Every structure is written in C-alpha cells, then in structure tokens.
C-alpha cells in the first residue's frame, strides 16, 4: 500500500471544516485591519532563503527541500558535453546550471517570498503594504505531534518605506493587537504573548561579543550544536532545547542590557500602546527567534494545551531584510501562525463547525432518481444543504444513511408524492412526518421544523 510521505498527512472531514472556519475568520479579521492577500510561489531560488533566513539557521542548514531544476539526465548530458568540448544535445545547458545556481527550494517560510515580491513588483510605490498569506510551507524536521514536514502558515507582513510609517512602534502594536483579536475570535482563550526586543544590528554585534566571551569558559560542557553556534552565531544558542544546557544558558548576558536609546524607546512605545488597548504580554528577553533577519520587536504567542510544541505563532520586525535582498530600505514587521497547531488547539470544536445536511432526499422506486434530482436542484438553489440517495435503496437503508449523515430531515420522493406534487418530510429526531407541497419545501426545511 502506498502511504502519505512521512511528516505529511491528509486533512479529512470533519477537520477540514475547522480549517475552513479558521481561514474564513482570519480573512474577516484581516479585512477589518485593511490587509490584502498575496500568493507567492511554493518554490523559489534557493539563494532567496540562504540570504534572508540565514545559512547558520537550522532551517537553511538542515531542513530545506532543495533540488536542482534540470533533471539528472540533462545534467549528465551537460556535464559530458562540457567535458568533451562539444555542444550539448537537446536543451542547451549553460555553465551556471552545472554550478548549481538553478537550485530551487520548497519554501520553508513565506516572509522571504513576500519581500522578494515586494522588491520585484516595486510595491513601495503604493506606500505602506499590508499583506497576508495562507499556505503550505516545507521543512524537513523530525515529525512529531504539532510538527510536520508540510505544514500551513497564516502570516502577514507590514512593509514599506519609513516615510509611510513602516518603522513606527504603532505598526508593531497594531499587529500584536490584531493577533490578540484573532485568537479571541477563534475562541482560543489561554494564550500568552511573550515579547522582546532584539535591538538593531549594532546592539546585536555588541551582544554577540558579550555572549561569545561568556560562552568561552562554559561551551565545552554544552551540546555539539551549541559548540558550533558559539563560534558561528552565538545568538542561536537560545534555540537550544537540550535540558542539560539550560542552566548554562540562563546565566548568559541578556539582550535587554544592550539596547541603544532609540531601540529602547521604540520598545517602550510598543508596550505603552499595548497597555492602552488592553492586550496583556509578558516580557521575555530570552526570546531571540530562529531567523537571522529580525530586528527590534520579537514575539511569540504560546498556548498551554499544546504541550512541547506550544508556540502557535511567532514574528517580529525585520528592518534590514529588503536591503539584504537587494531592494530599497523597507522596514517591516510580520508574523506566521502555525495553522496546524491553531487547528489542534481548536480540535474539540470540530464537530460543531461542520455543517450537516439539512435534508436527505430518498427516491423510492424506479424512475424516481430524476424526480429527486430535480427537487435537490430546487432546494440547493435556496441554500438548503441536501444529500441524495438512490432509487434502488429500500426505505430502511435510506433512513440509516440519513441518520449516519446527521441529516435533520428525510424527504421521500415516491410515485404518489410526485403525482400529488407534495412530499413526505420526516424529522429524523422526533419521527414526526408531514406532507409538504413542493413550493413550500425550501422554507419549511430552512425553518428547521
Ligand atoms: P517560524 O516560521 O519558525 O517562526 O514558525 C512560526 C510558526 O509556524 C510556529 O510558531 C509554529 O506554530 C509553526 N511551525 C513551524 N514549524 C512547523 C512544523 N514543522 N510543523 C507545524 N507547524 C510549524
């Protein structure tokens, strides 16, 4: 038997109803904040991610699905042609294909793609852009509950020139307030907002230096990942999940002591607005986030019921990202919600969200399928959710199917009913049955009794 690939899964009903409910709610909330949807490709040039997310991150160093665009056959032919000093047959292969610059990667996150599109389509000409996306992301992580190799993120970015206000602490606060509203609207009650500022590149250089010094005498007792991070990018030490390393990490210097005046003020203003709108938060100066491009505000929302993988969403400011990708200065802030985890947190309500059929139409006897189809068409046009049986089914089987589907009514379509143009409508729960003229059916079914 062929099964879904490890780390991927099928989303089946009734859970899909919950996904639709989440996405519809999210779209509603985004509309109220004047965000618009963007859809970027699922694969991009590998360079986009190595340059924006950062070579040293776990995502880029170990988790990306990367492949060369030419097929192995094309590559081999190109290689042989070059070696033998002749023109390659078939598709001409320039040298750079052989050197791997045609390498593509399934997106592990969506911010890089959005910022690439911002630069490519000169979106700054519109001033401040408030964009959101919903879609699959791919990371080759060890699968476990709440962690998949294909997962979906709902995210948003506010990006634009500083003159349009993109740098303002008001943007950070607006994003955080939007998220609080969204989680409340979805009925997720027990969330916690963890908030930090990771400063600007200058602050981080000084902080990295301090971390490096503090790590020197102790790094020998830490895990091999931390030993590598201590040399390449000490800030990443905070990503470490090894329990034995935590007491050492706890004693390291804190980023909050290294913020310069403007960063400190920016962070204070974000907090002031949050207090003014009544969004609660916890300061957490160990929160540095896994990606290289963050500056100033960094945040995470966690949810108690999710266990080890308790981060539902993360985000922050990335003021230098556009420039690092060759674009103009475009300060921005964004977040990505793990949709799988959001749905996991809502799972108990899955049944409630699923719309059951209002009516199960049971054609009874030869020639009745066409009559039932006509009725179904009329009812569905009136927004009745209808499901259909088959004229070969005995009445008993139709009743069983209707109850299994959770239909409210069963509608019997037999020869006598067709002649009278009035149909037997039975409420499954009470067993009450009435004869209803065709013209009154839709209204009767919609009224629910
Ligand atoms: P990140 O892009 O790493 O900041 O992640 C943002 C959010 O995406 C996290 O808080 C998770 O909810 C979700 N997420 C990240 N990786 C995975 C994964 N492998 N499976 C499911 N959700 C994930």
- Per-position pLDDT tens, the chain of length 449: 999 999 999 999 988 999 999 999 999 999 999 999 999 999 999 999 988 887 777 888 889 999 887 777 777 777 787 788 877 665 555 555 555 557 899 999 999 999 999 999 999 999 999 999 999 999 999 988 889 999 999 999 999 999 999 999 999 999 999 999 999 999 887 899 999 999 998 888 899 899 999 999 999 999 998 998 888 888 888 888 889 999 999 999 999 999 999 999 999 999 999 999 999 999 998 888 656 678 999 999 998 766 666 889 999 999 999 999 999 999 999 999 999 999 988 876 555 567 789 999 999 999 999 999 999 999 999 999 999 999 999 999 999 999 999 999 999 999 999 999 999 999 999 999 999 999 999 999 999 87
b/e burial code for range 25-42 (CB count within 10 A of at least 16 → b)? ebeebbeebebeebebee
For ligand 1, the distance from its centroid to the CA atom of residue 301, given in whole angstroms, is 12
Task: Check if 253 has its Cβ closer than 6 Å to any atom of ligand 1.
Answer: no
The count of residues in the chain is 449
Q: Whose CA is nearest to atom 11 of ligand 1?
A: 338
Q: Is 136 in the pocket of ligand 1 (CB under 6 A)?
A: no
Burial class, 223, CB count within 10 angstroms (exposed 0-12 / middle 13-18 / buried 19+): middle
- 312 Cβ closer than 6 Å to some ligand 1 atom: yes
Question: In this structure, which residue's CA is closest to atom 23 in ligand 1?
Answer: 338
Q: 324 CA distance to ligand 1 centroid (A)? A: 23
The rounded Å distance from CA 313 to ligand 1 centre is: 7
Angle between helices 224-232 and 201-215 (to 10 degrees): 130
Q: Where are the alpha helices (DSSP H) in 406-440?
A: 415-420
Q: Supply the angle between the helices 169-186 and 261-277 in degrees, to the nearest 10.
A: 40
Regarding the beta carbon of 341 and ligand 1, being less than 6 Å apart is answered yes
303 in ligand 1 pocket by Cβ < 6 Å? no
Looking from the CA of residue 139, the nearest atom of ligand 1 is 19
- Smallest CA separation from ligand 1 atom 14, residue: 338
**Cα 269 to ligand 1 centre (Å):** 28
CB 336 near ligand 1, within 6 Å: yes
CA of 7 to the centre of ligand 1 (A): 13
Give, using CA atoms, the residue closest to atom 8 of ligand 1: 338
- 148 Cβ closer than 6 Å to some ligand 1 atom: yes
Is 313 touching ligand 1 by the criterion CB < 6 Å?
yes
Judge if the beta carbon of residue 58 lies within 6 A of ligand 1.
no
Strand pairing class (191-197; 295-303): antiparallel
| Global confidence as pTM | 0.86
Residue among 136, 106, 88 nearest 46 (CA): 106
Give bridge partners of residue 301 from the DSSP assignment: 193, 313
């Amino acid at each position: 038997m062929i099964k879904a690939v490890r780390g991927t899964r099928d989303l089946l009903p009734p859970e899909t109803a919950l996904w639709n409910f989440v996405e519809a709610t999210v779209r509603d909330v985004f509309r109220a904040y004047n965000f618009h949807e963007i859809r970027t490709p699922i694969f991009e040039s590998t360079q986009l991610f190595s340059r924006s997310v950062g070579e040293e991150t776990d995502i880029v160093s170990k988790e990306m699905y990367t492949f060369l665009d030419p097929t192995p056959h094309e590559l081999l032919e190109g290689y042989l042609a070059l070696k033998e000093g002749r023109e390659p047959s078939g598709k001409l292969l320039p040298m750079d294909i052989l050197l791997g610059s045609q390498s593509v990667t399934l997106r592990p996150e969506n911010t890089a793609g959005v910022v690439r599109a911002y630069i490519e389509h000169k979106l700054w000409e519109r001033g401040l852009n408030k964009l959101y996306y919903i879609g699959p992301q791919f990371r080759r992580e060890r699968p476990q509950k709440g962690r998949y190799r294909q997962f979906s993120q709902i995210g948003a970015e506010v990006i634009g020139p500083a003159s349009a206000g993109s740098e303002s602490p008001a943007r950070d606060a607006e994003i955080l307030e939007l998220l609080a509203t969204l989680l409340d609207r979805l009925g997720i009650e027990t969330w916690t907002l963890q908030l930090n500022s990771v400063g600007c590149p200058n602050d981080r250089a000084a902080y990295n230096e301090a971390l490096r010094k503090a790590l020197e005498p102790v790094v020998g007792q830490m895990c091999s990942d931390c030993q590598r991070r201590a040399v390449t990018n000490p800030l990443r030490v905070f990503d470490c999940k090894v329990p034995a390393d935590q007491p050492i990490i706890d004693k390291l210097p804190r980023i909050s002591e290294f913020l310069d005046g403007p960063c400190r003020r920016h962070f204070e203003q974000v907090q002031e607005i949050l207090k003014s709108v009544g969004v609660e938060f916890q300061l957490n100066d160990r929160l540095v986030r896994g990606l290289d491009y963050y500056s100033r505000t960094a945040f995470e929302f966690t949810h108690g019921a999710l266990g080890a993988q308790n981060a539902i969403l993360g985000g922050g400011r990335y003021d230098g990202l556009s420039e690092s990708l060759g674009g103009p200065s475009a300060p921005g802030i964004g977040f990505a919600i793990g949709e799988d985890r959001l749905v996991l947190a809502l799972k108990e309500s899955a049944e409630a969200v699923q719309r059951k059929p209002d009516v199960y139409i049971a054609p009874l006897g030869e020639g009745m399928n066409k009559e039932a189809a006509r009725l179904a068409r009329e009812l569905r046009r009136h927004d009745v959710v209808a499901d259909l049986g088959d004229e070969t089914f005995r009445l008993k089987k139709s009743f069983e199917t209707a109850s299994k589907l959770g239909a409210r009514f069963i509608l019997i379509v037999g020869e006598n009913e067709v002649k009278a143009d009035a149909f037997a409508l039975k409420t499954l729960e009470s067993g009450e049955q009435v004869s209803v003229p065709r013209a009154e059916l839709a209204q009767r079914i919609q009224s629910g009794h």
